[in-house]
């Protein structure tokens, strides 16, 4: 391998395989006996949900490339056909491992803790009678079995829905004998049903809806003999296609596309592992899939639905201990947020510190008669958002409210359309960003009259304005009334709404204009320091690293002696530890109770360091196809806090860290004889209120 050829495909991991490796790390949490039992089941559900999206988006993209005979490859130079083959093999292994952990570890451990999933063989007479009543009262009225014949073609199967294919013998009342019927389970029915304790004898006894339908499927076909009943589930292409250059109204175009997602092209077929080969082939043929797309599973076809159990079981010992997010003294209840920000920049580290001050800031701005305008970007907000309600109140109060809503936030499009309509009805100005560029920046700007002057207050974050995810995602946010920050954010909003040129920003870096160029310059700056024999270091934390130019710049920096420490939760195309190329680079991934989400970039700069927080990962889309904001942490105390808490704690973590190997695999760290260190646990102890 030539050390100078930094484009050599052998130096790059495959993106899709790297994403599956991330899901292996999540699944490992379900297999970890040190994790509370019900939390392990949650990690199992998360893995299932992640894999659904993987097939809906990533596999769909690969298949589309193959359909159009695309020869485009990533930096690893693997063709779409070869990628699909390798990804299919890896995904089959991962899903097999999922069900092995479920059946051999989680279900026995749950049963030992008094939580049982009752199979049909476990039903006694009393339980059977209760289940039959449930079927007759709750299931039977909403089930519509469809026997297949020329007048009853194969029904449309909703994306990720639970279905059954039933084999039959005999004739129905009209003399028809198709031999095959389809039963679709309505989404209104819970997938996990709790049996009363007085019926089964157990406080936490559950039965799967699939088991109930299996047991009573004959009731749906009177006079005919059911010879087999097998659950199946189809995962479809989840991407929406809207040509930004052609549509006149993006909101209306997306509204028209949303229904098609439910019945788009099939990507994966899951069936029960006892399904006969001829029936599986029949389903594959109908959905235009191949045997590589078939996943035969030993258990429920949708493990994501197991998340229901968490709220149904009141056993705190089987869950992570609760905690109260901390609130800085300057932002305690009743504080005037504007006065607090005037005293100096304020930093919050979610979820260890509360998201409530962010909500309170918007509420105070909405109610303050001196506030003239509020501008905010919204990407994901969640249902019945308190922030959105405050913006509505502000608009109704006559304030100038401008909201940049990214309608194309994947799988939140419908919610964002409703949000846009709600804000417009209240009188807010709503725009949908820039054609061809998702607005991913997290920015909030409040203009307030104070005496004879106008002052700008700014909130910038690495995560969404979403109160629920702020409890489970780690993120940083900054409050400031620094005039340069205010002017920069004002310019970006003006650009988003008026589509004019923003002018030169004073402190913020912005995609798609200055972020990539500046990151490259900062890497080169460290490289020059190393060449001159000065100390040189880069520490960067993010969700994903895929952009080729940045990776090659990091390789070059490593070759000159720059010490590079990367903390990358998910996909990483860079290969660390390659002799002569990346020996000075380490990559670790932290998988724990909370989803690591902040982006933090540190450059030593010979002792005069630069430290930024950002909404952007180092990916092509974030650098070139999105509007992103990257902001420096200038206050010395806050700068050191982010450096120590956001970077150094994570580099010292030896309980939840996984180290990326040169071959693309990961090895989990172990404290061994050292003192166990967990960054997330340390932050809980330091920042939360208990």
In sequence order, the β-bridge partners of residue 349 are 476
Where is 581: in which H helix or E strand?
none
396 three-state secondary structure: helix
Number of residues assigned to the chain: 690
Q: Under 8 Å CB-to-CB from 651, ≥6 apart: which residues?
A: 539, 565, 567, 588
Cα(344)–Cα(325) distance, rounded to whole angstroms? 22
* Nearest by Cα to 537 from 602, 608, 599: 602
Cα(35)–Cα(82) distance, rounded to whole angstroms? 37
Query: Does residue 312 have a cis bond before it (omega within 30 degrees)?
Result: no
For residue 319, what is the DSSP state?
S
Token pair 């002017």: residue? 487
Pull the structure tokens for residue 412. Answer: 């939140």
In sequence order, the β-bridge partners of residue 628 are 511
Pairing between β-strand 585-590 and β-strand 595-596 as defined by DSSP bridges: unpaired
Q: Give residue 327's region: left, alpha or beta (phi > 0; psi -120 to 50).
A: beta
Cα(423)–Cα(681) distance, rounded to whole angstroms? 39
Cβ–Cβ < 8 Å for 126, 134: no
In sequence order, the β-bridge partners of residue 114 are none
Cβ–Cβ < 8 Å for 335, 362: no
Q: Is 652 exposed, middle or buried (0-12, 13-18, 19+ CB in 10 A)?
A: middle
Asked if 440 is an active-site residue, the reply is: yes
In sequence order, the β-bridge partners of residue 595 are 473
Helical ranges in 343-475 per DSSP H: 356-367, 386-396, 413-425
Cα(630)–Cα(489) distance, rounded to whole angstroms? 11
Token pair 């994501």: residue? 304
Distances from the Cα of 168 to the Cαs of 135, 216, 221, 269, in angstroms?
A: 21, 14, 9, 22
In sequence order, the β-bridge partners of residue 477 are 348, 461
Cα(159)–Cα(505) distance, rounded to whole angstroms? 45
Cα(409)–Cα(381) distance, rounded to whole angstroms? 10
Q: Cα 673 to chain center, whole Å? A: 35
Cα(284)–Cα(135) distance, rounded to whole angstroms? 30
For residue 174, what is the DSSP state?
T
Cβ–Cβ < 8 Å for 559, 532: no
| Active-site choice (214, 350, 437, 440) | 440
Active site residues: 440
């Amino acid at each position: 391998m030539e050390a100078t050829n930094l484009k050599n495909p052998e130096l790059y991991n495959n993106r899709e395989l790297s994403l599956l490796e991330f899901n292996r790390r999540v699944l490992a949490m379900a297999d970890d006996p040190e994790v509370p039992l019900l939390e392990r089941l949650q990690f199992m559900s998360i893995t299932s949900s992640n894999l659904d999206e993987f097939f809906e988006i990533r596999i769909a993209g690969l298949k589309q490339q193959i359909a159009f005979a695309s020869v485009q490859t990533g930096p690893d130079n693997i063709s779409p056909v070869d990628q699909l083959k390798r990804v299919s093999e890896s995904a089959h292994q991962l899903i097999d491992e999922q069900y092995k952990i479920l059946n051999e570890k989680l279900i026995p451990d749950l049963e030992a803790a008094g939580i049982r999933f009752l199979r049909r063989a476990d039903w006694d007479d009393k339980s059977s009678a209760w289940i039959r009543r449930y079927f007759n009262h709750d299931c039977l009225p909403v089930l519509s079995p469809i026997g297949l014949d020329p007048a009853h073609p194969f029904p449309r199967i909703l994306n990720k829905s639970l279905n059954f294919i039933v084999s039959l013998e005999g004739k129905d009342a009209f003399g028809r004998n198709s031999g095959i019927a389809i039963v679709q389970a309505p989404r209104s029915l819970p997938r996990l049903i709790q049996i009363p304790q007085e019926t089964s004898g157990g406080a936490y006894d559950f039965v799967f809806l699939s088991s109930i339908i299996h047991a009573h499927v004959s009731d749906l076909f009177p006079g005919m003999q059911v010879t087999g009943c097998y659950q199946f589930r189809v995962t479809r292409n989840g991407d929406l296609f809207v040509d930004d250059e052609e549509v006149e109204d993006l909101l209306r175009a997306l509204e028209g596309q949303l229904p098609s997602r439910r019945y788009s092209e099939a990507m994966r077929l899951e069936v029960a592992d006892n399904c006969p080969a001829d029936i599986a082939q029949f389903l594959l043929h109908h959905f235009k899939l191949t045997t590589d797309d078939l996943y035969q599973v030993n258990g429920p076809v949708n493990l994501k639905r197991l998340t229901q159990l968490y709220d149904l079981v009141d056993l705190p010992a089987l869950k992570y201990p609760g905690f109260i997010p901390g609130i800085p003294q300057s932002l305690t209840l009743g504080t005037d947020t504007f006065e607090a920000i005037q005293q100096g920049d304020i930093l919050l580290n979610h979820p260890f510190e509360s998201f409530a001050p962010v909500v309170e800031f918007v509420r105070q701005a909405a109610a303050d008669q001196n506030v003239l305008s509020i501008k905010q970007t919204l990407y994901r907000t969640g249902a019945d958002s308190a922030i959105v309600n405050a913006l509505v109140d502000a608009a109704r109060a006559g304030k100038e409210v401008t909201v940049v809503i990214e309608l194309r936030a994947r799988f939140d499009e419908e919610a964002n359309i409703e949000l846009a309509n709600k804000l417009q009805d209240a009188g807010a100005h709503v725009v949908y960003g820039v054609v061809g560029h998702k607005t991913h920046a997290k920015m909030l700007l409040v203009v307030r009259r104070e005496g004879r002057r106008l002052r700008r207050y700014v909130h910038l974050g690495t995560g969404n304005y979403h109160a629920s995810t702020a409890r489970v995602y780690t993120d940083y946010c900054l409050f400031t009334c620094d005039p340069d920050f205010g002017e920069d954010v004002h310019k970006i909003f003006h650009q988003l709404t008026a589509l004019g040129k923003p002018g030169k920003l004073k402190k913020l870096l912005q995609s798609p204009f200055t972020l990539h160029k500046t990151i490259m310059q900062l890497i080169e700056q460290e490289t020059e320091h190393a060449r001159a024999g000065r100390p040189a270091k880069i520490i960067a934390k993010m969700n994903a690293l895929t952009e080729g130019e940045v990776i090659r710049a990091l390789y070059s920096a490593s070759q000159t002696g720059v010490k590079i420490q990367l903390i990358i939760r998910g996909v990483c195309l860079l290969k660390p530890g390659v002799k002569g190329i990346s020996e000075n680079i380490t990559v670790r991934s932290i998988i724990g109770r909370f989803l690591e989400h902040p982006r933090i970039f540190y450059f030593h700069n010979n002792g005069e360091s630069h430290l930024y927080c950002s909404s952007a990962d180092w990916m092509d889309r974030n650098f070139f196809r999105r509007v992103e904001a990257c902001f420096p942490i200038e206050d010395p105390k806050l700068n050191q806090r982010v450096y120590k808490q956001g970077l150094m704690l994570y580099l010292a973590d030896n309980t939840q860290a996984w180290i990326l190997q040169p071959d693309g695999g990961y090895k989990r760290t172990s404290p061994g004889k050292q003192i166990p260190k967990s960054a997330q646990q340390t932050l809980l102890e330091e920042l939360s209120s208990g």
